[in-house]
Structure 1
Amino acid sequence: MACSRGRITSLLALSAALALVAGCGKNASSSGDGGDKREHDGKPVVVVTTTWEGAFAKAAGAEDVKVIVPQSVQHAPDYDPKPSDLAAVAGADFVLYAPFEPYAGKIKEAAGSEAELVEVNLDNDSDKVDAEVARLGKLFGTEDAAAQWKTTFDSEYAKLSKDLKAEWPGGKSPVVVSQVFTTWAAKLAGMNLVGTYGPEAVTPAQLAKLSKEKPALILDNAHMSTGTVLPDSGAKQVEIVNYPGEGLDLLPVYRNAATVLKEAMRKS
């Protein structure tokens, strides 16, 4: 293997180091006829870039799920993969990533993996979640588990939505503005979404337009906040968390959003 010269990114440097790891992994799991057979019980081995993709994979029925980006990293695209990350990819059946995570394809290439690279539509909108979980379940061969999860999710979602609507101030849907990646929370609460902003910094023209809508609440993205959006509007700004925890359970994301939205509506 030729040595790289000049200034290179840490990821490309890791690719050289991990080529041997990937190769050894394949040899260890190969059968006598040269075929590549991973040593697992027939269930898909799934490597995901973040806990968000991980929760989608788990909801779809995957049981062996490895997460690359630690939960402590607030902005996943800034993460710098380590050799151990590439080693995990080398033994995967599927690698799940989002289009705003530019390193996913490079991770797979660096590790020499034969895994199927799957782009996931990371959006907590209930309809999109149902569609993605069903699609992944079909891909993994775990359709029954995905369908069972959908039943649980739909029931929980309906309950949370009903409870939130019961908290509308004066029985009227509150007017809200939302960051583009947290509009799902407004939908969950049945709120009157009148405008969005981000992910870029809010411009003066946007500020003026959003202020005219006189929102009661602003739903901000906890993972990429741009600070106080409408500082002189009197609107209460609420942080919405998109990423699940280490347990890779998507339902707490909705429960937590419902909790903060209830509190905000009670104080508005």
Structure 2
Amino acid sequence: MARTRVRIPSPLALSASAAALALATGCGSGTASSSSSSAAADGPAQAGKPRVVVTTTWEGAFARAAGARDVKVIVPQSVHHAPDYDPKPSDLAAVAQADFVLYAPFEPYAAKIKEAAGSKAKLVEVGLDNDPDKVKAEVDKLGRLFGTADAATQWKAGFDGEYVRLNQELKAAWPGGTSPTAVTQVFTAWSAKLAGATPVGTYGPEAVTPAQLAELSAKKPALVLDNAHMSTGTVLPDSGARQVAIVNYPGPDLDLLPVYRNAAAELRKAMGAS
């Protein structure tokens, strides 16, 4: 799971921006945009049709899986760590109109954004982990909050089918029919589970120390499953392990399934070359 940090201006500056935006909006200068769907301009959310603002595409994909359709993403998907991202007036406008604001525990700026925008939205903490059991638990939770439990249940059924298919394909690709050993970054353990690989160690989120390097290399892993969003370069040089870059964040379409498909494709290539 990547650590996404956003630099937030002072609450006073944000409040001023929000006030200026409210004045401009009152004059008909425009509405907030969304990477997945347009935010509703006015009025309360319809039953089962919540207006949701999320910090990143990862939370956005969870919201979409749970049945939300009106989803606004604040941090662009192209900004992996977003250390210098400043919310725009359109972001504040979307938060002001939202029913829910989704954020991760390592994204404390969500509360500041909500406060600055004067929103009455419900702040919802989302546990960002692509482990299938954790994903389904979060989707269940959000579906209940949004009033879209039926949509969440339907998504989970499709997810289960796709996950089983990918898992079976990866097991069929095991070199010599044996589960490969793997060292994972702390936020990519889910991909080892997807491949049916045997975990023999973890590292991160900090860079590997010389002592860790010696310890992990001694375990002779076949694979190193690195976090593409927090990579520190080659993790176990000269170990013979195949390093695979695992992407945690969905794309701008907010579809979580391609994250698993893309990881499976990279894992198949690595196992075929080992």
TM-score (norm 2): 0.87
Q: Distance in 1 between matches of 2:25 and 2:145?
A: 24
Largest Rg, 1 or 2: 1
1:24, distance to aligned residue in structure 2 (A): 9.0
Counterpart of 1:152 (choices 132, 141, 158) is 158
Contact 2:8–2:87 (8 Å) recurs in 1: no
Counterpart of 1:166 (choices 172, 186, 196) is 172
Q: Distance in 1 between matches of 2:24 and 2:95?
A: 13
Contact 1:60–1:136 (8 Å) recurs in 2: yes
Aligned: 1:260 with 2:260: no
Equivalent residue number for residue 105 of structure 2: 99
Q: Distance in 2 between matches of 1:154 and 1:117?
A: 28
Task: Describe how 1:1-268 pairs up with structure 2 within 5 A.
Answer: 10-12=9-11, 13-19=13-19, 21=21, 38-42=43-47, 43-76=49-82, 78-268=84-274
Deviations 1:197-244 (A, max 9, x none): 111121112111111111111000111111111112111111000010
Larger RCO (CA under 8 A, 6+ residues apart): 2
Contact 2:52–2:68 (8 Å) recurs in 1: yes
Q: Distance in 2 between matches of 1:77 and 1:62?
A: 28
Equivalent residue number for residue 35 of structure 2: none
TM-score (norm 1): 0.89
Q: Distance in 2 between matches of 1:23 and 1:147?
A: 42
User: One-letter code of the match for 1:113?
Assistant: S
Q: Is the partner of 1:122 in helix, strand or coil? A: coil
1:22, distance to aligned residue in structure 2 (A): 5.6
Equivalent residue number for residue 32 of structure 2: none
Contact 2:45–2:99 (8 Å) recurs in 1: no
Q: Is the partner of 1:65 in helix, strand or coil? A: strand
Q: Distance in 2 between matches of 1:216 and 1:22?
A: 56
User: One-letter code of the match for 1:107?
Assistant: I
Q: Distance in 2 between matches of 1:91 and 1:222?
A: 34
1:102, distance to aligned residue in structure 2 (A): 2.4
Contact 2:21–2:89 (8 Å) recurs in 1: no
Shift in alpha-carbon separation, 1:46–1:169, aligned structure 2, 3 A: same
Q: Distance in 2 between matches of 1:56 and 1:74?
A: 18
Aligned residues: 252
User: One-letter code of the match for 2:102?
Assistant: L
Contact 1:22–1:113 (8 Å) recurs in 2: no
User: One-letter code of the match for 1:63?
Assistant: R
Q: Is the partner of 2:15 in helix, strand or coil? A: helix
User: One-letter code of the match for 2:204?
Assistant: G
Q: Distance in 1 between matches of 2:186 and 2:140?
A: 24
1:11, distance to aligned residue in structure 2 (A): 4.7
1:23, distance to aligned residue in structure 2 (A): 8.7
Q: Distance in 1 between matches of 2:127 and 2:212?
A: 27
Contact 2:8–2:86 (8 Å) recurs in 1: no
Deviations 1:56-113 (A, max 9, x none): 0000000100100101101145532222211110000000000111211111111110
Percent of paired sites with the same residue: 73
Shift in alpha-carbon separation, 1:195–1:54, aligned structure 2, 3 A: same
Equivalent residue number for residue 37 of structure 2: none
